[in-house]
Structure 1
Amino acid sequence: MKDLGKIMQQAQQMQAKMQEAQQKIEQVEAEGVAGAGLVRVRLKGKGAMSAISIDPSLMGDEAEILEDLIKAAHSDARKRLDEEVEKAMKEATSGMGGMLPGFKLPF
């Protein structure tokens, strides 16, 4: 039974490291640019769009409204995608809960 205790300890350490990595990932940001800088999008680590900028020369006075609509649509799509991924993971891992009590998968 020593081996089982050791395995559980390693699993808990791995879980802690995964949580730490996920927290670091959430803080990362990246900017994408298209059209020689006319359109810019900033995403946070898990893919959430934090900002979008469309050069007014492309849109006239409606750029800000379009930026807000794109951010809202992106947010809605991410939410729906996250829900579907969570659903698929629950289906894929159903029945595995008793294998390692207290161990949570990083999803």
Structure 2
Amino acid sequence: MELGVYEALPRPGVVHQFATKYWSTVDDESQYYVKDAEDADYKMAVAYAKSQVGDSYGLETTLSNSSVWYCSKLVYKAWKDAGFSIGSLDEYAGVVLPSSLIIDVDTVS
């Protein structure tokens, strides 16, 4: 079974792609993991992201909106649903930046 990637794209919105297709389109091939997350946590985060497939993409959205997504917001909310608070550095501003996900103490490469 090939791994997949869930991401939010300007068009068509939240999608699922095979990992090999995704990695062939990006320059940064870094992979990050959530410290102390177990298989069940990963499954919960993936299930959350999967449930957003087909939703719209947009940068002008709030963290409380669950129908419009950008990539780092999708990652943040999926892990929040699984009980982890990665990327919450910018949460007070109502956004989550990719850099906040990367530098979070609970994110490891």
TM-score w.r.t. the length of structure 2 is 0.25
Higher relative contact order (CA 8 A, sep 6+): 2
Query: Greater helix percent: which structure?
Result: 1
